[in-house]
Structure 1
Amino acid sequence: MNYSLDALWWKLTDSAVRDLASLLTAPALWHSSKELPVQDLLGNRGFRLLLALDQHPQPLHQYLSVHAPFGKRLGLYAEKLLAFWFDHAPHTELLAHNLPVPAADRQTVGAADFIVLLNGTPYHIELACKYYGSPDHSTDGLCGLNRQDRLRDKAAKLHRQMMLLQSADGLRALKQHDLPARIQTASIIRGMAFFTDGITAFEPPLNPYAWRGLYLPDWQQYRFAAQPHARYCVLDRMAYLSPARIPESETLSAEAVQQIDSGLVAVLAQRPDGYWHEIQRLMKTETDASSHQTPSPIF
């Protein structure tokens, strides 16, 4: 699925609102078996609220400024965006954020991302935002630009986090903070999977409808000529959440973008609003100098 082509991105212009909208509406990257449905997260008025917030984003900007700087910590930024939503959407109520769970010896064993009322029902919600690519077409090989960051490890950690409040320590923490003991558990998993060209099916636990991009170990594998009018930008880590929308002055030519060794790169097309909008995303990894094979071109 190319989530960057969703009609929503023609409407929203504020970068923070776009990031919030992505957290609320993007497909899950992988299945945890406890995904929070988008309709529950958005509520009946969700899209109208996002459009209104885009017109008057000052409350969101002010909220984020209180918690800034985020120090390149994308997960922390994403948490604050969701905390704002849970604190302001009419169908939600934020009861706790980053609730610490101490053991009997008072050593902290973990923290719950969110305790929220959704339409009156209490939820423990865990958030994950990950960007993984695989050079060998396998789900097991999916990892980030930091190759120590692997999907299989993160999925296992997320499962443990979702079980945290069902433990004796977790139940005790809920009681100490006068929070509901009978609580549902859910996940919000966002991000992208990057594969080399030609992969049409995802292996479990990946969501077959996940936002996907192109894994690119060598620039020679990309047919720039097939996109003669495209521009490019190298995405800052804090700009991963939503599809890029940038002025032409911040874009790069095909020649310039090929100078980077690694990173996430947005392929851009100009739209009637005058801005350049993301139409595809690439994960460019460092070229393996030990490989002497000339890769076949892909697009």
Structure 2
Amino acid sequence: MNVPDTASQFNDPAVRDLAWLLFSPGLLNALHAGAPLARPVAEDERERTLQWLAALDRKPVALHAHVHKPSLKRLGLYAEALLEYFLQHVPGARLIAANVPLRSSGTTLGEVDFLLQSARRERLHWELAVKFYLHIGEGRAALSDYVGPDLQDRFDLKHDRLLNHQLGLSARDEFASLGFEGPWRAELFVKGRLFYRRESMPALPSELAEDHLRGWWMTVSEWRESKGDGAFAVVPRLSWLSERSLFKQDAEALKLDAGTLAKLTSPVMVANYNRTGDVWSEHSRGFVVPDEWPERALHYARLTTT
């Protein structure tokens, strides 16, 4: 069973997103990630976890109460809430703490995402990151060539902070004083999707997993020239995780059209749909960006940091 099939067997969008978070390929290559990678579902736990998700899909009310809160307006917070619910309720694992702030002399040093005990009784520290980066440039890619759509985030910078700051928080003396008995095995939990310009597929940097989820991106002008009779709709930010189908009424409300593009000042995630009757089934996913965005993105990718 491939990843899209794993999530698509569930009807409830939040359950689908949780299945995507658990079963989608990670963005990082285990051999070159720089740290151990989290395994939320071991192979011998797969069927039991799918059965648990199926039961949750039939009665998702408790999950909705946990993740559909006014305070969870950011995609990262929504993903954290999904994973927290899983660790609180799935058989085997035990959540010890989530979002533990670490302070020293009144200064906040950082926050530990998750402390848990696995089914194998391992004491784990997970740092979760769910990222959607667009590749800019040509030739062999580097992590710095993957930039956030708002040009305020870059894969190399995020990776460096995870390795050299976040993962080390649970090993600090200040953290031991909080009463969470270690030692903790710190692991990266990095999911998401990387987007490539149409007709472009660079040689990957060693840090990236070969099987990572992919999408496309194009400028407004390129989209207008290539869209043909395709059906495209905007993907709201909190729906960026799993693929999903839409009923015609919902799809029409989100439909990408000339009016949307005329007001476009920053990249927007869209999905390309196949239409069968009143149901729109997602075929592919990408970003449409303003015509001047690639030049600004390339400049951001080439910026050095200190």
8 A contact 2:72–2:78 mirrored in 1: no
TM-score, structure 2 normalization: 0.82
8 A contact 1:72–1:237 mirrored in 2: no
Tell me the alpha carbon deviations over residues 253-289 of structure 1, each in whole angstroms, 9 at most, x when there is no partner.
67557556331111112469x6323221112222118
Moved more, 117-126 or 276-285: 276-285
8 A contact 1:162–1:185 mirrored in 2: yes
CA distance in 2, matches of 1:199, 1:290: 16
Aligned residue among 148, 170, 173 for 2:175: 170
CA distance in 2, matches of 1:190, 1:271: 31
* Structure-1 residue corresponding to 2:27: 29
CA distance in 2, matches of 1:288, 1:63: 40
Kindly state the Cα deviation for residue 98 of structure 1 after the two structures are TM-superposed. Answer: 0.6
Query: Could you tell me which amino acid in structure 2 is paired with residue 89 of structure 1?
Result: V
Q: How many residues align?
A: 277
Query: Could you tell me which amino acid in structure 2 is paired with residue 234 of structure 1?
Result: V
Moved more, 130-139 or 205-214: 130-139
Tell me the alpha carbon deviations over residues 140-191 of structure 1, each in whole angstroms, 9 at most, x when there is no partner.
2211111121111111111120111112222223xx2xx2312211121111
Identity of aligned residues (%): 26
CA distance in 1, matches of 2:294, 2:87: 49
CA distance in 2, matches of 1:277, 1:69: 29
Query: Could you tell me which amino acid in structure 2 is paired with residue 166 of structure 1?
Result: A
Kindly state the Cα deviation for residue 72 of structure 1 after the two structures are TM-superposed. Answer: 2.8
* Structure-2 residue corresponding to 1:296: none
* Structure-2 residue corresponding to 1:63: 66
* 1:13–1:201 CA distance, 2 compared to 1 (3 A): farther
* Structure-1 residue corresponding to 2:300: none
Aligned residue among 210, 213, 216 for 2:212: 210
8 A contact 2:129–2:189 mirrored in 1: yes
* 1:289–1:195 CA distance, 2 compared to 1 (3 A): closer
After TM superposition, the structure 1 = structure 2 runs for residues 22-101 of structure 1, keeping only pairs within 5 Å, are 22-31=20-29, 32=33, 33-40=35-42, 43-44=45-46, 45-65=48-68, 68-70=69-71, 72-101=73-102
Kindly state the Cα deviation for residue 59 of structure 1 after the two structures are TM-superposed. Answer: 1.5
Q: Tell me the secondary structure at the aligned position of residue 214 of structure 1.
A: strand
8 A contact 1:233–1:250 mirrored in 2: no
* 1:19–1:289 CA distance, 2 compared to 1 (3 A): closer
* 1:92–1:260 CA distance, 2 compared to 1 (3 A): farther
* 1:141–1:260 CA distance, 2 compared to 1 (3 A): farther
Tell me the alpha carbon deviations over residues 32-83 of structure 1, each in whole angstroms, 9 at most, x when there is no partner.
3321125339934111111221111112112224xx1135311111111110
* 1:171–1:42 CA distance, 2 compared to 1 (3 A): farther
Query: Could you tell me which amino acid in structure 1 is paired with residue 57 of structure 2?
Result: D
Q: Tell me the secondary structure at the aligned position of residue 149 of structure 1.
A: coil
Q: Tell me the secondary structure at the aligned position of residue 147 of structure 2.
A: coil
In structure 1, list runs of 5 or more residues that go unmatched.
Answer: 292-299
